[in-house]
Structure formats: structure tokens, C-alpha cells
Amino acid sequence: MSELLKQALKRGPECPEIEVLIESLESPNTSAGVRRHVADCAACQAEVALYQGFEASTPVSGEERQAVDFIVARLADRMLPPKRESVFARLFGSLTPVRMGAFAMAAAVVVLGVGLTTQWRARQVEPVAETGIVRSTKIRVTTPLENVSRAPAEIAWQAVEGATTYDVSVAEVDRTVVFYNKFTTSVLPVPADLARLLVPGKTLTFRVTARDSAGKELATTGAVTLRVDVAGR
Amino acid sequence: MTPELTLHAADCIGDRHSGLYSDWMRDVSPNTSDEELVAVFNDSRSSAAQRDRAVNELFSRYHSKVAAWCFRVVGDRDWAADLAQETFLKALRALPGFRMDAKFSTWIYMIARNSSFNAREARAMRPSAEVDPEMADESERIDEILESAGELAQMREMLRVLDDTERAVMALHYGEEMTLPAVTRLLRLDNQSGAKAYIVSAKRKLKSAVARWKSSGSPERLS
């Protein structure tokens, strides 16, 4: 290709900085000079087109959609949940050491008093029979996944009341996410690219998180081992 | 391999005031603007938890955009995942220096753009020297003609015969030395042969433009 043409297609010293170029084009006060330059400059037009492509995040192809889901799942996996500020820090963060000591003494007296009272009451009251009901936020996976003779065609789990979506992820043992998607039903028809990973002897972890319409987590399966037995080869 | 991304703001900024702080000012919600979230993150009165919430909310808004961008540049999801992670790590480190007069979306785009372009160059991902037979015929003949076009200004004038997409494709492929698949993905071209079709049509237009220029004696009469 002609060197002269390549030069005409590259950004030159007269081109504005890309950041300035993008911001000025979005501004109604963009100077006529910048607009004139962009109209004549292929490289600046390409930069504008690239930024517009970035802003239009909807994947064009199925391959891109899968890649984006995979990358987003990996990013989300590596984003740690916010550190919670302890109630102690919020209440006592601004106290001086002397005041802190006084609070500690008072708290010790209260704890001692409550402890003695509880012990005394325990001797007076008959024990109450346990109900046997255990509250849990665990979702049970209904399809057997561990040491199965062949890879399942679909994976089902207990539906959760109030759940509108189920985040499903499959990860390697090193926590690398190899599959991630959202479903509205409590069953995952195993797609071909996931089925290919379910080779005998390979251990993966399967996780479903149920969310309500606001995106709030309702329940989770936790990490469930997914492994096809070598004998099933 | 990119270092592990840990989005704890306290790791970034050490200096903080202690004590109670008006939480109502620090609320982070989907309605909070990007710039407000940056302000929460950069405010020395914010607690570590508030900073974490702000930066997690802010970055998660751009996960898909950055992920798609990185994949479009390199075309490999594992490599793109590393680049996306690197982008957010760089953004986290640079966030304290973020100028409030710029838009956050432009800023994060520039980080993603530069990270992925640099990575691409480091791996020498350039267009192959092999030329598609369909394009070779046009290329060989047009090169000689274009060399005779003369001045750079005249060449730029001649590029006006191309439409916007053709110009952008030519600029990215020949100016930025991007591969045709990358150009196809980045410009979101959904025609069957992608950027290649635009290169072929651009070269045909340029060739006939040069012929007309030679006969008319002025590039200004081309468009």
C-alpha cells in the first residue's frame, strides 16, 4: 500500500487529542475548526467511530455475546464485596481511649448482669421441644452432578419463590469461570460449549444464585461439584 | 498474567479521617451519576466501605462495554479478560487523579483503548503480509497510481470520495495497522465479508478517482 496513502490515513500533529476530540464532538459548543478537521480527517473519523462502538455495548454476534458474558463473570468474580463497616467502628470510631475504657467497663457490667439473669431463668423454665425446622438459603440441585456416568443434558434445581432470574456459573477448580448466563427458569439445557468441558475425570464447580426482580440475592446453591466419572468414558 | 484485581479503595488511598460521617450524602444507588461516584471515592471523609460501594457500582456499569471493547480488539476471550481486568486495575489506581471536568465514560474508554492497543502492539498483532487474492489485483495496480498522486494534502482530498465507513476501515487497517477481523468487530460491521468488502470498494473508488483526477487535472473535482 502506498506510503503516502498510509500517511494520509494516520493521525497527524494537527489532529486533536482523542479525549478532546470525543468530548468536543459531544458538546454543542464544538468549534467549527474541530468539526472541519474531523470532516476531512479519516483517522479522526475512525477514532469517533471506535468510541461510538464502545458506547454501543450490545454484542453484534453470538460469539461476542458469549465472550462478553465470560469476561463480565470473571470481572464480577474478582470484585470483592464491599467491606462492611462494623457497628463498633461506626459507634465508637470517634471516641478517645479514656471514654472507650469507660464504655468497655459499662459493657462488661451489662454482660455479667444479663448472663446471671439468663442462668437463673434457665433453671425456672421447662425446656421447649425443638420444631426441627431449619431455615436455609440453599438451593438444592435436583440433577445428580457428582461422579455421574455421563454428562447431563440439562441441569435442574429447586425453584425459589420470588426469584425472577437465576445466575448460573460453571468454574474450573481454580475458580476460572468457563460458563455464565442468566435464566428465568430453574433448568439449564447444557449448551454445546459447556458439554465439551464435561469430560470424564474433570472436576468443575456449578453454582446457581436466585435473584428477585431488584437483583437481590435470595438463595444460592453454593459451589456444587460437577464431575463425570472416568468409568463413564 | 495480570495481577489480581482487588477493588478495595483502602488499598489505594491511605489517608482518611476517622469518625462518623453523614451517610445520607454517601448513598450509592443505580441513579447516582458516574461523577458523583468518583466524588464519593475521592472524598477523604468517605469510609472504606463507602469507597468500595462507589467504585464497585461505578466499574460494574462499564464491565460490558470494556469487555466488548477488549474482545473486539484482540478477538480472544481469555486475553480480552486479562485486558479488561488490567483496564479496571489501571482505572482504580488512577481514579484519585481523575479530573472532574472530563466525563468518566471518556476517561475509562481511553484507558481501555490504550491498554488494548498497547497489548496488541506488544504481541505484534499486525495485518498479515499475505494479501487476499480478491484484493491483491486491486492493490498492486492502485499502489503505483496512488504514488503518483503527489502531495499528502491531495491524497487527503482524494479520500473524500470514500464514504464514512470506508474511510474508517481504511484508517484502522492501514493507518492503525489493525487486522481486518479486528476492524470488522470494532466497527460492528455485520455484512458477510466484514471490513474486507469495504477495503475492496474503497480501493476501486480511489482508483477511478485517480483516473478522473488525471484527466481533469484537479482533485477538487472528484467529490
Question: Over the stretch B33-89, which tens digit does the pLDDT of each residue have?
Answer: 898 899 889 988 888 888 888 999 999 999 999 999 999 999 999 999 999 999 999
Q: Do B171 and A7 touch (CB under 8 A)?
A: no
Mean pLDDT of B172-188: 91
Q: What is the model's pLDDT at position A187? A: 86
Q: Which residue has the higher pLDDT, A69 or A120?
A: A69
Best of B63, B66, B157 to disrupt the A interface by mutation (most A CBs within 10 Å)? B63
d(CA B168, nearest CA chain A) in Å? 4
Q: Do B110 and A67 touch (CB under 8 A)?
A: no
Lowest-confidence pick of A97-106, A135-144, A167-176, A180-189: A97-106
Q: Which of A32, A56, A80 is the last residue of a domain?
A: A56
Q: What is the model's pLDDT at position A218? A: 86
Q: Do B185 and A8 touch (CB under 8 A)?
A: no
Residue of B nearest to A24 (CA): B102
The residue assigned the cell 445428580 is A144
B97 contacts A5 by C-beta, under 8 angstroms: no
Domain annotation covers residue A215: yes
What share of chain B has pLDDT > 90, as a percent? 38
- Write out the DSSP string of chain A: --HHHHHHHS--TTSPPHHHHHHHHHSTT--HHHHHHHHH-HHHHHHHHHHHHHH--S-SSHHHHHHHHHHHHHHHHHSPPPPPPPHHHHHHTT--HHHHHHHHHHHHHHHHHHHHHHHHHHHHSPPPPP-------BPPB-S--SSBSS--SEEEB---TT--EEEEEEEETT--EEEEEEESSSEEE--HHHHTT--TT-EEEEEEEEE-TT--EEEE---EEEEB-GGG-
- How far apart CA B9 and CA A118 sit, in angstroms, is 43
Confidence of residue A133 (pLDDT cuts 50, 70, 90): very low
Average of per-residue pLDDT values in chain B: 78
Domain annotation covers residue A108: no
Most confident of A113-117, B151-155, B168-172: B168-172
Q: What is the model's pLDDT at position B72? A: 94
Contacts of A78 in chain B (CB under 8 A): 4-7, 85
Domain annotation covers residue A194: yes
Residue A226 has pLDDT above 90, yes or no: no
Domain annotation covers residue A228: yes
Beta bridge partners of A228: A148
Count, residues in chain B:
223
Q: Do B185 and A64 touch (CB under 8 A)?
A: yes
Best of A74, A99, A178, A179 to disrupt the B interface by mutation (most B CBs within 10 Å)? A74
Confidence of residue A40 (pLDDT cuts 50, 70, 90): confident
Q: Which residue has the higher pLDDT, A17 or B109?
A: B109
Which residue range is the domain that position A191 belongs to? 154-232
Residue of A nearest to B129 (CA): A1
pLDDT tens for B198-207 read 999 998 888 8
Q: Do A71 and B5 touch (CB under 8 A)?
A: no
CA distances from residue B138 to A220, B131, B170 in whole angstroms, order as listed? 59, 11, 14
Mean pLDDT of B155-164: 85
Confidence of residue B182 (pLDDT cuts 50, 70, 90): very high
Average of per-residue pLDDT values in chain A: 76
Confidence of residue B10 (pLDDT cuts 50, 70, 90): very low
pLDDT tens for B110-143 read 999 999 999 888 776 555 544 454 555 455 555 5
Q: Do A78 and B107 touch (CB under 8 A)?
A: no
Residue of B nearest to A77 (CA): B5
Domain annotation covers residue A77: no
CATH code of the domain covering residue A175: 2.60.40
Mean pLDDT of B28-35: 83
Q: Which residue has the higher pLDDT, A82 or A13?
A: A13
- Give the closest of B5, B109, B146 to A2, CB-based: B146
Contacts of A51 in chain B (CB under 8 A): 106, 109
Confidence of residue B148 (pLDDT cuts 50, 70, 90): low
Q: Do A67 and B77 touch (CB under 8 A)?
A: yes
Confidence of residue B214 (pLDDT cuts 50, 70, 90): confident
Mean pLDDT of B90-106: 87
Q: How many CB pairs under 8 A join A and B?
A: 175
Q: Which of A56, A73, A90 is the last residue of a domain?
A: A56
- How far apart CA A27 and CA A40 sit, in angstroms, is 19
Tally of domains within chain A = 2
Best of B51, B53, B104, B146 to disrupt the A interface by mutation (most A CBs within 10 Å)? B146
Domain annotation covers residue A198: yes
Lowest-confidence pick of A104-108, A205-209, A227-231, B100-104: A104-108
Lowest-confidence pick of A32-41, A98-107, A176-185: A98-107
d(CA B174, nearest CA chain A) in Å? 6
pLDDT tens for A71-91 read 999 888 776 554 455 555 555
Most confident of A201-205, B132-136, B214-218: A201-205
- Give the closest of B49, B102, B160 to A84, CB-based: B49
Confidence of residue A96 (pLDDT cuts 50, 70, 90): low
Q: Which of A56, A82, A100 is the last residue of a domain?
A: A56
Mean pLDDT of A46-69: 87
Q: Which residues contact B60 (CB under 8 A, 6 or more apart)?
A: A76, A79
Most confident of A88-92, A219-223, B40-44, B213-217: B40-44
Helix axes B77-94, B104-122, angle to 10 degrees: 130
Mean pLDDT of B163-168: 92
Q: Please report the ipTM that was assigned to this predicted complex.
A: 0.76
Using a 10 angstrom Cβ sphere, with 0-12 exposed, 13-18 middle and 19 or more buried, the burial of residue A109 is exposed
Q: What is the model's pLDDT at position B16? A: 35
Grid cell digits, residue B21: 460521617
